[in-house]
Amino acid sequence: GAVVSQHPSWVICKSGTSVKIECRSLDFQATTMFWYRQFPKQSLMLMATSNEGSKATYEQGVEKDKFLINHASLTLSTLTVTSAHPEDSSFYICSARAPGLAGGEQFFGPGTRLTVL
């Protein structure tokens, strides 16, 4: 149990286009989902926290108009990178928490590698 999927696993797009990444909890209901970003050879940094049915909370320095997050259901959160540019090329990983989980416990998706040309 506790499986989180991400789609697509990798994507290459042209500069200026928008890309949508899906994060799904397959066998549990995720009231909270987190989006992290990892640049090459760097650590994972939290971008935003999304709670089902409410607006996402973005970390300082993350442009909410550029990285649109929607958590419309208990099993799906989406991250849309709008007007992507080469500097947005990164590894994006989501994680999901369910009610009742012990503190900090969360399940990670396999990640999406975005390359913007």
Partner 1 sequence: AQKVTQAQTEISVVEKEDVTLDCVYETRDTTYYLFWYKQPPSGELVFLIRRNSFDEQNEISGRYSWNFQKSTSSFNFTITASQVVDSAVYFCALSAAGDSGYALNFGKGTSLLVTP
Would you count residue 59 as binding partner 1 (CB under 8 A)? yes
Would you count residue 24 as binding partner 1 (CB under 8 A)? no
Q: Which of residues 27-46 bind partner 1 (CB under 8 A)?
A: 32, 34, 36, 38, 42-46
Would you count residue 80 as binding partner 1 (CB under 8 A)? no
Summary count for the chain: helices (H), strands (E): 0, 11
Interface contacts to partner 1, rule CB under 8 A:
32, 34, 36, 38, 42-46, 49, 51, 57, 59, 91, 93, 95, 97, 102-106, 108, 110-111, 113
